[in-house]
A and B are shown apart, each in its own frame.
Chain A
C-alpha cells in the first residue's frame, strides 16, 4: 500500500526543504532592476536568440507552416552575426517535415512534444509509442509532460517510473520534463517536482516550466525556484540539469531578466543553449528588433522582420 499523499510530501519536503513565496518574489524583483546596456545588452540578446526553441504547437499546424518556421530558425534575420536558434519545437506528426526542411546536417535541433501533450492523459504505452515515433522521424529532443495527477496524489514513484520509461524510449535524444507549474500551484510543489524529475534524469536533460497551454506559464518566480533546485541538486550530486522556461516570455526585456537570474543563480556554465532554453515564438522577433535597434540606433518598422510563428 502506498503511503498517504501528505506523508509522501512531508517526507520529500524534509529532504529538499521548502520555499517561501514572498522571499522568492523579493529575490526576483532584484533581477528586474538590473540595467543591461550597450555591449552587455547585445551579448545578452544574441545569447537569448541562440537559446530559443522556436515553437509552433497548434491544431492548425501544416507542413508548410513548419517549413517556414524552420527557415526562420536557420536564419532569424539578414544580419549574419545573429546566431541560429537552438531548436524548433513541433508536434510529433510534424517532426518529419521539420527534418526535411532542416536537413540532416544542421545546428538547429528538432524538439517534439510527445507523451500526449499537453495533458499527458493517455495510456503509458501510447505515450511511449509517440516518443519512439518522434525519435524515429528525426527528433533530437523530446519534451514530455509529467503525470500531474499522480504527483498531486503523492504517487511519486509512478511519476518517476513514467519519466524513466520515457527517458529510456528517448534513446540518444535529450529529454525535457515539463512540470506544468500552473497545475502544481505552489512553489513548494514546483521544487518537489523538480527534484523528483532530476533524480532520474541524465546530465544535460532539461526540466521545463510549462506547456504554454494553461493560464500561467513561465514567470521569474517559478523559474527561480527551478534554478535553485538545479543548483542544489548539482552541488549535491555533480549532475548538471538544464532548464527551459516556456510560455509567456514575449519580450527581449523579459528574456534578459531570465538570463540575469541564470547568471546570478547558476553562473556562467548555464549561460549557453545546452543548459538553458526559452520555449517561445514571438520572443524571437522582439530580440531581433532590439538587436537592430542597438545596431542602428533606431527601432525598425515591424515589416522589416520576417514573420515568426505566433504560438506561445
Chain B
C-alpha cells in the first residue's frame, strides 16, 4: 500500500507547516454538578471495643478521634485498647474456640458466614459511605469494589466451610485455634474480609486490630456479627495504635499471626516473634512494575497504567508504581498518559464522579510530599494534574515522573500515593532485570499483543501476581501474596485457606 504513505506525505503535518500544535481542550464547557452519595452511614458518636460479642469500654477509658480525611472533621471516637483489653479479647476468643466454634461442623459455620455476607450486601450503600468518609477513597470505588468484594470473600469462604475435606487432597485439616490479625488502612473492610473469612471457614477464632485511621467499618461489621448471631468471642475487634497492634501480634494465646501492612513494621513483628512457635503470614509492601511493550494496544495500556497507580489514590500495596515502557513508544505513551491524566476528577470522595479522592491521613500526605520532593531534587521530570485542591482535607495531585532511573529513590521506595515513575527499557531481558531489581515482589503487569511473551515474562518476573493486558484484578478464588520482602503466605483461593489450618 505505498499510496497510503503517499497520502500521508501529501498532507503535511501541522508541525511541518509551522502552525500551532493541535491540542485537546478539557475545559469547563460542560462542568458536572456535584453528585454526592446521600445514603446515611449510620455512624455512632463513640465506638467501643468488640469483645466476647459485646461492645465494651476500654479498661483505660481512653478514646481517640477518627478523622474524615476529605474535610478534617471528626467522625467518631474510637476506643484505644491496652494490653488488658487485648488479654480479654484473646480470652474470649479462646473460650469461643474451645466451647463452640472449633467443634462446630463446617456446614454449620457456613450458615453464619453466608449470613454475614448477605447482611453486608443488604447494607452495602451504608457501608460504602462509611468507608469513604473514614478512609477518603472515592465512593465509586467503595461502592463498586470494596464492599461487593468484601461480601464476595465471605460468600466464597462460606462455600468452603463444609468442603474442607477436599482442600488438601489426601490429608485432613484442623483449625489452628486463635489467630491474631492486624490490617492496614488502604482497604479497611476488604482487608478485614480477606483476613476473617478464611479463618472463620477453617474454624479459627480471631482477635483483629484495624488501622487507627480506619476502624469504623470494622466496628460496623461487628454490628452485623451481632445481627447474624455469630457466637460470642468468635471475632473480637480491638482498636488502637501500634502498641495495641504489638500486643495482638505478640500475645501468647495466638497460634498464628497474620499481618498486612508496611515491610518495615512486618520486619519488626517477625523479629519480635523469632523463637516462638507461632505461624505467620505477611502481606507487605510493593513497588510493582507495569511493563508495556511496543506492540501493546496503547490506549488500553494507558488505561491500565492509570488504573494501576491512581486506583485508591495509589494506596495499594500492588499499585503499578513503576511504568517500564519500551523505548520506541515511550514518547507517544507518555503523551497519551498525560492526556488521560487530565480528565481524572480529583476531589470530594463522596461525589459519585470523583476518580481520585483524599489521601488517607495527614501523616501519609507528608510521606508522599517528602518522597515527591526527593524525586524533584534527584532530577526527575514531574507532570501533575492541573486541578485546584480543596484547602481543607488531605489531597495530592496525581503525579507522573519521567526520566527516572533505577537508582532514583522514587523508583525504589514504596510511595503509597498517586505517584508514577516512568522508566524506559530496550529489550525484554532489560525489562525483566529492571522489574526484578527491587526488594519487593508483590505484583507486575505485562502489556503486549504477543502471547508467548506474556508466558515468558510471567515465569521470569519475581512477583506473586502477574497481570497480562489488565491490572488490579481481584477475585476471592485467586491467591494473592508476595515474593521477597513483599511477604509470604497467600490470601484467597485454596492456598489462602491452607494458611489457616494444620494438616493432620
Contact = CB atoms under 8 A, between A and B. Distances in A.
B31 interface: yes
A78 interface: no
A39 interface: yes
Interface stretch (A28-36, A168-176, A283-291): A28-36
Contacts of A17: 297-298
Interface centre among A12, A238, A266 (most CB of B within 10 A): A238
Interface string B331-350: 00000000000010000000
Given A24-B300, A39-B33, A237-B11, A231 B24 contact: yes
A268 B297 contact: no
A228 B297 CA distance: 12
Interface string B91-133: 0000000000000000000000000000000000000000000
A36 B345 CA distance: 14
A235 interface: yes
B303 A27 contact: yes
Given A33-B352, A44-B30, A267-B24, A199 B8 contact: yes
A12 B3 CA distance: 12
Given A11-B1, A19-B299, A20-B297, A267 B33 contact: no
A39 B33 CA distance: 7
Contact of B7 (A27, A199, A263): A199
B140 A200 contact: no
Contacts of A3: 1
Given A11-B1, A37-B33, A22 B24 contact: no
B353 A35 contact: yes
B405 interface: no
A236 B12 CA distance: 10
A269 interface: yes
Contacts of B23: 235
B227 interface: no
Contacts of A268: 25-30
A269 B27 CA distance: 9
Interface string B21-61: 11111111111111100000000000000000000000000
Contacts of A23: 297, 299-301, 303-304, 469-470
A238 B13 contact: yes
A199 B11 contact: yes
A305 interface: no
B26 A18 contact: no
B144 A37 contact: no
Contacts of B304: 23
B35 A37 contact: yes
Nearest to A18: B297
B32 A18 contact: no
A43 B30 contact: yes
B170 to A, nearest CB: 38
Contacts of B25: 267-269
A12 B5 CA distance: 10
Nearest to A224: B299
A198 B7 CA distance: 11
Nearest to A17: B298
B13 A27 contact: no
B470 A22 contact: yes
A36 B32 contact: yes
B173 to A, nearest CB: 37
Contacts of B7: 160, 199-200
A268 B353 CA distance: 18
A15 interface: yes
A156 interface: yes
B271 interface: no
Interface residues of B, number: 40
A27 B336 CA distance: 14
B300 A235 contact: no
A78 B109 CA distance: 64
Interface string B286-319: 0000000000011111011001000000000000
Contacts of B32: 34-37, 40
B29 A271 contact: yes
B14 interface: yes
A147 to B, nearest CB: 16
B342 to A, nearest CB: 9
A157 interface: yes
Nearest to B3: A157
Nearest to B336: A232
Contacts of A200: 7
B303 A267 contact: no
Contact of B1 (A24, A156, A236, A267): A156
A94 B482 CA distance: 68
B153 to A, nearest CB: 22
Interface centre among B21, B35, B140, B304 (most CB of A within 10 A): B35
B478 to A, nearest CB: 17
A170 B472 CA distance: 50
Nearest to B298: A17
A8 interface: yes
B4 interface: yes
B381 interface: no
Given A20-B300, A231-B24, A12 B13 contact: no
Interface centre among A17, A20, A33 (most CB of B within 10 A): A20
A40 B30 contact: yes
24 contacts: A3-B1, A12-B4, A17-B297, A20-B297, A20-B301, A22-B300, A24-B299, A33-B144, A44-B30, A156-B4, A160-B3, A199-B11, A234-B22, A235-B22, A236-B13, A237-B14, A238-B19, A239-B11, A263-B26, A264-B26, A267-B24, A268-B29, A269-B24, A269-B25
Report, nearest first, the 6 A-B pairs whose CB atoms are least far apart. Answer: A23-B300, A238-B14, A35-B35, A35-B352, A20-B300, A20-B297
Interface of B: 1, 3-4, 7-8, 11, 13-14, 19, 21-35, 140, 144, 297-301, 303-304, 307, 343, 352-353, 449, 469-470
Given A156-B4, A238-B22, A266-B24, 16 more contacts: A19-B299, A23-B300, A24-B299, A26-B303, A34-B353, A35-B32, A36-B32, A199-B7, A199-B11, A231-B24, A237-B11, A237-B22, A240-B22, A263-B26, A268-B30, A271-B29
